[in-house]
Amino acid sequence: MRGLAEDPAPYQGAEPGEDQPDPAQPLSAGREVIARAVKTLPAGPGVYRMTNRHGEALYVGKARSLKKRVASYAQLGKLPYRLLRMVAETAKLEVIATHTEAEALLLESNLIKRHMPRYNVLLRDDKSFPYILITGDHPFPQVTKHRGAHERDGDYFGPFASAGAVNRTITALEKAFLLRSCSDAVFSARTRPCLMHQIKRCAAPCVDLVSREDYRDLVDQTRAFLTGRSHDIQETLSSEMRNASERLDFEAAAVTRDRLRALAHIQSRQDVNVEGLDDADVIAAHQDAGHTCVQVFFFRAGRNYGNRAYFPSHDRQLDVTQVLDAFVAQFYDNKPAPRLILLSHSLAERDLIAEALSQREGRKVTLLAPQRGAKRKLVESALMNAREALARRLAESGNQRQLLDGLAEALGLEAPPDRIEVYDNSHIQGANAYGAMIVAGPEGFVKAAYRKFRIKGAQARDARDAGPAGDAPAPASPGRAGYTAGDDYAMMREVLTRRFTRIVKEDPERDSDEWPDLILIDGGRGQLAVAQEVLADLGLTDVAVAAIAKGPDRNAGRERIYLPGQSPKMLAARDPCLYFLQRLRDEAHRFAIGTHRSGRSKSRLRSSLDEISGIGAKRKRALLHHFGSAQAVARAGLADLEAVAGISRVVARRIYDHFHGGP
């Protein structure tokens, strides 16, 4: 099948007249739309799409016979309540004819993921899986993590369930096979072995410490290991270690021994000894309280590449097999299917899905719901993980709502907050000052909504302290131009002013869900007063605000809560609301410190080279490409500096003197 990236020209059924039915009208309006469309529908396979009067997709389905399937929606007495609501909203129906039902299934999955119709089972899976790539476009191949289309020449291994699983595996491969992980640009600029070689995780092909033929052998061994021939590699390395020992070359024997240990470490964590299991996905679903969790485990070349939990959106009336049917079809819409897919439940459309996936992959794909044996044990393990993940999610969701209710009561709010914004600052005596905002709601922390603020008033002060070499001062915080180091009140004033000035400008009618119901400040009465001043200046007098300060001796459990116009209050030491407030404050603190450390690291990297007269962006880039880091530039000799393109003898001497105390 072709053209799934674009909507094929639809075969449109009969449309309603000028007066399109309103969703609030009786069922007869939607039924009439469907009945008129049925008269012109083909009897063959295809996909149909129902939309409302606003053009929004309500439902996408596939059928062996479009005419029969769509006609069933006009028989209102046989439809469940969910579909009755859908029919009532239907204002238009479009169909796309296909050659086979399998082709229709592939198209249906594609359209569901593209249009996200509210009455379908929806898998929100917008991230591609990471792979390990051994590049094939360089004489000395690189081992690296890769996401996205497989356009670069090389060998791809995966998918892995997470970036963490890929990173751990690459680290183990570096120890076992000594392949380089640096980019081609860094590789070409090296003049001496890097730290990775010193810690025995790279053979240093960049400086010819390994021949091209020997490095090619390491690459071949890596490919063999990743394709399941690990025992052959172990035997080869064991033989090499014995031969080195017999030659009394104990250093080479020790290197080979370390490689064998790294291989054994990978195998102990990843190998799965199940007969007939090579490349397979294990998919298990558990349903409770109208919610479903689907766990997917990835096995490639007999190794466990990790697992991921999914929580598809669906109507509560659908049973677990119906949800799993839709999940499997959508899951493989944008990713390759392995030869074997093990399922916790037998699917109603198992044969059709297998046919469609086989047709797309160009090889046989088998769907199996094992009932006994080693494969069933794998499914049971995935099912247990699905059960536990769903229990955690339901508990967190229920507890979160209870905590929000309790927080509203403790702080005297009119209603439980749906969006809480927590603010904190981090700096060292005013330097590299950053503000942080975290967001929490009924579903827990909303990390996509987190924001960081590089405090501009502190930048202005840092620039003045730096003297002529510093950058031009940035705009200071409102009302406190270039405030003194460590002025937490001014920093908080700047962060809150920038945040709320922007949202007032972008959404003056307050229609979006980005307005907080509660602002929580990490601090005491002074920080609370600053927040009140900022909000008052912007005319925002109806947003609840509170501050939480550590108790005497900064003891957790004795926090004081400051509210406008009230004496500070303390919650009971074991009050769940107190634990909740501590979690919010600690998360804001963690995010602020992480932001500060990252900014401080970048600042150090900039300042060490930016302080040298005559080093602009171009020369700085040349130095970093040549040496790999500012620290390496600082350690470089005069001759090494002169060898960098664009660095003259005079400039090289200036750089050398800067780092070595010259005139």
DSSP, residue by residue, 124-158: ----PPPEEEEESSSSS-BEEEE-S---SSEEEE-
Mean pLDDT comparison of 173-177, 241-245, 459-463, 495-499, highest-scoring range: 495-499
pLDDT tops 70 at residue 621: yes
Strand duo 303-310 + 291-300: pairing: antiparallel
pLDDT tops 60 at residue 271: no
Question: Comparing 14-23, 218-227, 236-245, 494-503, which segment has the lowest mean pLDDT?
Answer: 14-23
pLDDT category of residue 663 using cuts at 50, 70 and 90 = low
pLDDT tops 80 at residue 600: no
Amino acid at position 317, single letter: Q
Q: Is 303 helix (H, G, I), strand (E, B) or coil?
A: strand
Give the separation between CA 604 and CA 213, rounded to whole angstroms: 41
The tally of CA atoms less than 13 A away on the side-chain side of residue 327 is 27
Give the separation between CA 382 and CA 345, rounded to whole angstroms: 12
The CATH number given to 420-602 is 3.30.420.340
pLDDT at 282: 94
The average pLDDT across 280-298 equals 91
pLDDT tops 60 at residue 216: yes
**CA angle (192 as vertex; 191, 196 as ends), nearest 5:** 125
pLDDT tops 60 at residue 500: yes
pLDDT at 475: 37
Q: Look at the alpha carbons of 27, 32, 37, 40 in this order and tell me if their dihedral is positive or negative.
A: positive
pLDDT category of residue 599 using cuts at 50, 70 and 90 = low
662 vs 374, more confident: 374
Task: Note the pLDDT tens digit of each residue in 374-384.
Answer: 889 999 999 99
Give the separation between CA 401 and CA 444, rounded to whole angstroms: 9
Give the separation between CA 92 and CA 53, rounded to whole angstroms: 7
Give the separation between CA 656 and CA 148, rounded to whole angstroms: 43
pLDDT tops 80 at residue 445: yes
pLDDT tops 60 at residue 485: no
Mean pLDDT comparison of 172-181, 524-533, 653-662, highest-scoring range: 524-533
Contact predicate 253/271, CB 8 Å: no
The average pLDDT across 51-70 equals 91
pLDDT tops 60 at residue 464: no
What is the number of helices (H) and of strands (E) in the chain?
21, 19
pLDDT tops 80 at residue 31: yes
Find the Cα–Cα–Cα–Cα dihedral 162, 168, 174, 179, rounded to 10°: 10
Q: According to CATH, where is 3.30.420.340 located in the chain?
A: 280-392, 420-602
Q: Which CB contacts under 8 angstroms, 24+ apart, belong to 371-377?
A: 374/274, 374/275, 374/277, 375/274, 375/276, 375/277, 375/342
pLDDT tops 60 at residue 12: no
Give the separation between CA 633 and CA 314, rounded to whole angstroms: 57
The average pLDDT across 233-243 equals 77
Give the separation between CA 132 and CA 156, rounded to whole angstroms: 6
pLDDT tops 80 at residue 647: yes
Rg (CA), the chain: 31
Give the separation between CA 17 and CA 382, rounded to whole angstroms: 52
Contact predicate 498/476, CB 8 Å: no
The CATH class, in words, for 11-115 is: alpha beta
Amino acid at position 377, single letter: K
Task: Note the pLDDT tens digit of each residue in 390-401.
Answer: 887 877 677 788
pLDDT tops 90 at residue 189: no
Q: Look at the alpha carbons of 651, 653, 655, 661 in this order and tell me if their dihedral is positive or negative.
A: negative
pLDDT at 460: 41
pLDDT at 551: 63
The average pLDDT across 40-61 equals 91
pLDDT at 283: 95
Give the separation between CA 648 and CA 654, rounded to whole angstroms: 10
pLDDT category of residue 266 using cuts at 50, 70 and 90 = low
The average pLDDT across 617-646 equals 80
Amino acid at position 560, single letter: R
pTM score above 0.85: no
pLDDT tops 60 at residue 602: no
The arrangement of secondary structure in 280-392, i.e. its CATH architecture, is 2-Layer Sandwich (3.30)
Give the separation between CA 519 and CA 538, rounded to whole angstroms: 15
Q: Which of 421, 427, 419 is nearest to 592 (CA)?
A: 427
pLDDT at 126: 57
The average pLDDT across 164-171 equals 83
Averaged pLDDT of the chain = 81
Task: Note the pLDDT tens digit of each residue in 129-156.
Answer: 889 999 999 999 999 999 888 888 999 9
Amino acid at position 190, single letter: R
pLDDT category of residue 125 using cuts at 50, 70 and 90 = low
The average pLDDT across 548-560 equals 68
pLDDT at 604: 52
Find the Cα–Cα–Cα–Cα dihedral 426, 430, 432, 436, rounded to 10°: 30
Which run of H or E residues covers position 24?
A: none
265 vs 515, more confident: 515
pLDDT at 267: 61
Contact predicate 437/453, CB 8 Å: yes
Which is the CATH superfamily of the domain at 612-660? 5' to 3' exonuclease, C-terminal subdomain (1.10.150.20)
Contact predicate 544/417, CB 8 Å: yes
pLDDT at 302: 75
pLDDT tops 90 at residue 160: no
pLDDT at 546: 94
The average pLDDT across 367-390 equals 91
**CA angle (275 as vertex; 270, 276 as ends), nearest 5:** 100
pLDDT category of residue 127 using cuts at 50, 70 and 90 = low
Amino acid at position 351, single letter: D
585 vs 249, more confident: 585
Q: According to CATH, where is 1.10.150.20 located in the chain?
A: 612-660
